[in-house]
Amino acid sequence: MTFKEKYGNTALVAGASEGIGAAYAHALAARGLDLILIARRKERLEAKSAQIAKQYGVKVLPVVCDLATADAMQQIINAIGDMPVDFMVYNAALSYIGAYLKTGLSTHTNIAQVNMLTPLAMLHYFGGKMAERGKGGIVLMSSIAGFQGSGYLATYAATKAFNRVLAEGLWYEWRHKGVDVIACCAGATATPNYINTNPDKASILEPKPQLPEQVVEECLRKIGTTPSFISGSGNKLVSFLMQHIFPRKKAVVTISDGMKKMYRIKE
């Protein structure tokens, strides 16, 4: 059975204009799926959509939407009408690097909206329809940052823990309804956003950043086999150390010290 035969004809990717989201769009189009691509930057999204449609000969519908808005789900419904979504990737995320109190509360609430509340709404709507049809697949992008607290990345890390635990719970609930759910816990990935933060190397333990395509291909191979996974052998090793070898306090201190060094944070 091919990927398309297993899941259906149309995939939705939220956060699709570049980086991991764009890599998902390419990978799913290469598997023959038509696409609904969601992002907030109109010109970049439309250019990416046109490129993929031409390259793979699939239909691509760009939907310009700021997923930080409270009515983002309704905007998406208005844009796509009754188009069925057979496979969904929620890749969109906001983050703030720095001391928690050095930015306003609205920064943290926007992170919560994009990273938790909007995907909750999309899972309820699109996941519910998949469960009714008895067929579908869902990827929630999480992060190894969500396996322990992380100073200077506190809100983002907490939302990524939420994503992983949510996906694991829905994997169990929907596994007998024909809907595969997986949390992809990525580490540092060479996306434009990551590169633009200009990070230093945190420690000798830090794995080399993966390419977006590596993360995506591993996820699309693993969906249907496990509720969550850590992408990349280097990230698996570091996570094993943090979760099973280091005491919890040491894990939190190690990760937080790494963030402080990586981004040259001075309090």
Q: Give the whole-angstrom CA distance, residue 154 versus residue 103.
A: 12
One DSSP character per residue, 120-161 reads HHHIIIIIHHHHHHT-EEEEEEEEGGGGS--TTSHHHHHHHH
Assess contact for 138 and 123: CB atoms under 8 A: yes
Amino acid identity of residue 76, one-letter, is I
With both helix axes pointing from N to C terminus, report the angle between 42-56 and 19-30 in degrees, rounded to the nearest 10: 20
Q: Give the whole-angstrom CA distance, residue 156 versus residue 210.
A: 20
Q: Give CA 154 to chain center in angstroms.
A: 17
Q: Give CA 211 to chain center in angstroms.
A: 14
Query: Token pair of 108, please?
Result: 């943290």
Cβ neighbours of residue 69 under 8 Å, at least 6 residues apart? Answer: 75, 113
For 176, which DSSP code?
A: G
- Positions annotated as catalytic residues are 156
Assess contact for 45 and 17: CB atoms under 8 A: yes
Return phi, psi of residue 226, to 5°. -160, 150
Q: Give the whole-angstrom CA distance, residue 91 versus residue 14.
A: 6
Task: Give the count of beta carbons closer than 10 Å to the beta carbon of residue 196.
Answer: 8
Q: Give the whole-angstrom CA distance, residue 133 versus residue 127.
A: 10
